[in-house]
Amino acid sequence: MTVGIKEKSKPNKSKASTSIAPNFIHSLDASHLALTIHYFNGEMLPVHDSYATHACDVDELSFKTRKAFYDLYKDTDPLENLRNSLQEAFGMDLPEAPQKGEFNLKEVLRATYFFA
């Protein structure tokens, strides 16, 4: 028996259902971090959801962070993809994802205060 795992333990449905949203968002943040690292040419220190670099590279890192975010979401709707995946995998009938607002994602590329 592995330490910390009870034999024949059942999943805690309550904990599983409340962890879906934060884990989903964390996965999107991790994808954004990975793409930012791929785009950035300078030295970088990623710490969870924060990035650090030399002062001379801040402007480039700032732009690459915004570009990675834009590229990650310009052609996809992660919430709709999750909904469709759950419906397909489990035969669930889920409500429609919330309707998108009017935000123009290209504005991220010009944002001064996109990421701190």
Catalytic residue among 49, 57, 59, 71: 49
Q: What is the pTM of this model?
A: 0.81
Q: What is the DSSP string of the chain?
A: --TT--TTPPP-HHHHHHHHHHHHHHHHHHHHHHHHHHH--S-EEEETTEEEE-GGGHHHHHHHHHHHHHHHHTT--HHHHHHHHHHHHH---PPPPPPP-S--GGGGGG-SSS--
Which band of pLDDT confidence, cut at 50, 70 and 90, is reported for residue 102?
very high
**pLDDT at residue 99, as a whole number:** 87
Query: Predicted confidence band at 68 (pLDDT cuts at 50, 70, 90)?
Result: very high
Does 49 qualify as catalytic in the annotation? yes
Quick check: 1 pLDDT over 60?
no
Question: What pLDDT score does 45 carry?
Answer: 92
Average pLDDT over residues 61-87: 94
Average pLDDT, whole number, for the chain? 89
